[in-house]
Amino acid sequence: MNSPSSPADFEVFADAWTSEVRVESNMERIFSNENYLKLLMLGPQAIPLMLSRLSQDPFLWATALGQLTGLSVGSEARNQGESVTAWRTWALGEGYPTYE
């Protein structure tokens, strides 16, 4: 597998991943999807791009952010809205754009 390296790659892999897992309920399949793994290979440069999609599907993108950063931001959230808020607060503190 070649190492993805650009924002354009991110968009391709992100669109493919979310499309492929849209109706999937098996967590192992969702998070072992080849396009998801390619997203993680982008490393920290993917963080702002993931943050930009956080509101579109909070569960997928909060999980991806947690996997990429190794952090459990929002793990105590009672709902997806609280999880999004927690990640945005973290992003602001780290100097990332927060995207509304």
Cα angle: 55, vertex 56, 62; to 5 degrees: 60
User: Tens place of pLDDT for every residue, the chain, 100 residues?
Assistant: 444 567 889 999 999 999 999 999 999 999 999 999 999 999 999 999 999 999 999 999 999 999 999 999 988 999 999 999 999 999 999 999 877 6
d(CA 63, CA 30): 11
Question: Is residue 2, in this structure, part of any structural domain at all?
Answer: no
Question: Is residue 100, in this structure, part of any structural domain at all?
Answer: no
Question: Is residue 47, in this structure, part of any structural domain at all?
Answer: yes
Question: Is residue 70, in this structure, part of any structural domain at all?
Answer: yes
pLDDT at residue 85, rounded to an integer: 95
pLDDT at residue 6, rounded to an integer: 73
Domain count, the chain: 1
Question: Is residue 37, in this structure, part of any structural domain at all?
Answer: yes
Domain region containing 55 = 7-94
Question: Is residue 67, in this structure, part of any structural domain at all?
Answer: yes
